[in-house]
């Protein structure tokens, strides 16, 4: 098997593991366990908690003491064991600690998979800017395949989804030990602890524009967790209405939600054009407006093919712009605005603000709000009110960003940031 195919398999499995449960754990939580929204928000906050420290720690280990592919394999094998234990959780508290441990092992593997890919391609004299994106897109394909597998097997409310994820993680962990070696390259460096942890990137906050950018990145990171946490269970809830119970979108909600990931693979191809044409401020505004539409269309949509299904599908298509124009464009902007010596640390800071603080705050606060204002005494959710609240939040963020973030667009600044 050629090295590109081997890296494709790695990326496919990396996100297959995540896609096996990320969008369907809400259905398992609410439909099977019947636990509360506040406690569910805590579950999704585990991703943010783990992202605050684990990627940095894993980076230090891979840079100084252990081959990246071996560390990657160890993390996935450990995650496989933890995922296997998820169905054993008998209460929300136990579920929280098990999922936190799972995220502690899984979240650093995202960055490690990139390290392995870059290192392997560079060692063979290949251009990573040209060769890596077509390899990485198979990660999104893996996520989609996982969603379809869980949905077509009717496992969205079943504990079996965690066994599927566990099996895939175990296979990937063992497979990683057969990959080409990616030895630590920083053994001889004598950087300070602050430098090693990437804390020097925090000096970017001295720049008012960059400080505002990171704050809004955190606020948008919160929006991303709202759609991950509640999208699938929103469609699952329509099964309680006899008129909708047997409709395709209700029977296979994960497949409908996977349209979001399909859209994501398409919108990523438009980013270079939009960045060069409109600049980072307008592209980020497009993302924020897309989040407003994403949530607003969910509020008024329903699974009826001749009624509101088009709104749900349109919401999923818009997700591609909302996600890519925020995540990919944001990382390119950070790349272009950072000094060469701290670019890796700056990207880590971007991840901390979005997947760390943003994910944590979005998950915890949304769960509390839903429980307090949008859950009836009988445990029924007011989904229209929930989605409209999320849409209003995104609109406020967009208006504040338009007013506060000052940036003069220079088409040359972001035309080829990866060449610097």
Task: Render pLDDT for 288-300 as a digit per residue (tens, 0 to 9).
Answer: 999 999 999 999 9
Query: Exposed (0-12), middle (13-18) or buried (19+): which is 167, by Cβ within 10 Å?
Result: middle
Sort 325 into a burial class: Cβ within 10 Å, 0-12 / 13-18 / 19+. buried
Nearest 10 degrees: Cα torsion 185, 188, 191, 196? 30
Comparing 287 with 1, the larger pLDDT belongs to 287
417 pLDDT higher than 70:
no
pLDDT at residue 187 greater than cutoff 60: no
**Which candidate, 85, 93, 83, 82, places its Cα nearest to that of 38?**
93
Instruction: Provide the CATH number for the domain formed by 1-184 in this structure.
Output: 1.20.1250.20
- The whole-number average pLDDT for the span 349-373 is 81
Domain boundaries of the chain, sorted by first residue = 1-184, 198-420
Task: Report the distance separating Cα 53 and Cα 252, nearest Å.
Answer: 36
Is the pLDDT score of 330 beyond 60? yes
Same fold, 1-184 and 198-420: yes
Q: How far is CA 304 from the centre of its chain?
A: 29
Question: With bands split at pLDDT 50, 70 and 90, how would you rate the model's confidence at 416?
Answer: very low
- Express the helix, strand and coil content of the chain in percent, nearest 5 each: 80, 0, 20
Mean pLDDT of 240-245: 84
Average of per-residue pLDDT across 374-384: 83
The 10s digit of each residue's pLDDT in 24-64 is: 888 788 778 878 777 777 777 787 788 777 776 776 677 67
Which of 68-82, 95-109, 121-135, 278-292 has the weakest average pLDDT? Answer: 121-135
Distance CA 278, CA 226 (A): 28
CB count within 10 Å of CB 251 equals: 19
Is 60 exceeded by the pLDDT of residue 98? Answer: yes
For residue 85, CA distances in Å to 82, 89, 108, 143 come to: 5, 7, 20, 22
Residue 200's pLDDT band (cuts 50, 70, 90): low
Separation of alpha carbons 196 and 203, rounded Å = 15
Residue 195: pLDDT over 60: no
Report the alpha-carbon distance of residue 343 to residue 333 in Å, rounded: 11
pLDDT at 280: 81
Q: In the structure, how many helices (H) and strands (E) does the chain have?
A: 17, 0
CA pair distance 172, 9, nearest whole angstrom: 9
Q: Residue 381: beta bridge partners?
A: 375
Q: How far apart are CA 236 and CA 250, in angstroms?
A: 6
* Residue appearing with tokens 């783990």: 50
Residues 404-415: tens digit of each pLDDT? 887 776 665 544
Q: Which two tokens stand for residue 262?
A: 């399909």
The whole-number pLDDT of residue 414 equals 47
Residue 186 has pLDDT above 80, yes or no: no
Do 212 and 405 touch, CB atoms closer than 8 A?
yes
Q: What is the DSSP letter of 32?
A: I
Inter-residue long-range contacts of 329-334, CB under 8 Å, 24+ positions, other chains counted: 329/271, 329/274, 329/275, 329/280, 329/283, 329/284, 329/287, 330/213, 330/217, 330/280, 330/284, 330/354, 332/271, 332/275, 332/414, 332/417, 332/418, 333/213, 333/280, 333/414, 334/213
The domain defined by 198-420 carries CATH number 3.40.50.970: no
Structure tokens that stand for 175 in this block: 């497979």
Whole-number Å distance between alpha carbons of 23 and 153: 15
For residues 374 and 386, is the Cβ–Cβ distance under 8 A? yes
The yes-or-no verdict on residue 199 having pLDDT over 70 is: no
């Amino acid at each position: 098997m050629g090295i590109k195919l081997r890296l494709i398999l790695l990326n496919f499995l990396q996100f297959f593991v995540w896609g096996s449960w990320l969008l369907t754990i809400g259905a398992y939580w609410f439909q099977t366990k019947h636990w509360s929204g506040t406690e569910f928000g805590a579950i999704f906050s585990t991703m943010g908690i783990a992202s605050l420290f684990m990627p940095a720690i894993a980076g230090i280990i891979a840079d100084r003491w252990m081959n990246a592919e071996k560390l990657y394999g160890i993390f996935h094998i450990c995650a496989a064991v933890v995922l296997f234990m998820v169905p054993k959780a008998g209460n929300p508290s136990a579920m929280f600690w098990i999922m936190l441990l799972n995220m502690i092992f899984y979240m650093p593997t995202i960055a490690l998979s990139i390290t392995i890919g870059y290192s392997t391609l560079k060692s063979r004299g290949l251009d990573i800017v040209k060769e890596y994106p077509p390899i990485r897109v198979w990660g999104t394909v893996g996520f989609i395949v996982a969603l379809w597998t869980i949905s077509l097997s009717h496992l969205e409310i079943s504990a079996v989804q965690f066994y599927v994820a566990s099996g895939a993680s175990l296979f990937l962990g063992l497979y990683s030990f057969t990959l080409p070696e990616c030895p630590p390259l920083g053994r001889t460096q004598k950087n300070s602890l602050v430098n090693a942890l990437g804390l020097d990137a925090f000096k970017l906050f001295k720049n008012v524009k960059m400080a505002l950018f990171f704050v809004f990145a955190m606020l948008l990171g919160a929006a991303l967790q709202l759609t991950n946490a509640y999208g699938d269970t929103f469609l699952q809830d329509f099964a309680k209405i006899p008129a909708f119970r047997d409709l395709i979108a209700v029977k296979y909600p994960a497949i409908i939600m996977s349209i979001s990931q399909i859209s994501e693979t398409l919108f990523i191809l438009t980013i270079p054009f939009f960045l060069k044409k409109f600049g980072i401020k307008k592209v980020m505004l497009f993302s924020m407006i897309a989040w407003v539409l994403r949530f607003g269309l969910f509020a008024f949509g329903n699974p009826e093919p001749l009624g509101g299904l088009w709104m749900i599908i349109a919401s999923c298509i818009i997700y591609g712009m909302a996600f890519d124009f925020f995540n990919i464009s944001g990382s390119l902007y950070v790349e272009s605005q950072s000094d060469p010596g701290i670019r890796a640390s700056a990207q880590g800071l971007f991840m901390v603000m979005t997947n760390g603080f943003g994910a944590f705050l979005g998950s915890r606060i949304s769960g509390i709000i839903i429980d307090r204002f949008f859950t009836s005494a009988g445990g029924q959710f007011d989904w229209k009110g929930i989605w409209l609240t999320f849409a209003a939040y995104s609109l406020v963020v967009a208006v504040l960003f338009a007013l506060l973030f000052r940036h003069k667009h220079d088409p040359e600044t972001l035309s080829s940031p990866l060449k610097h």
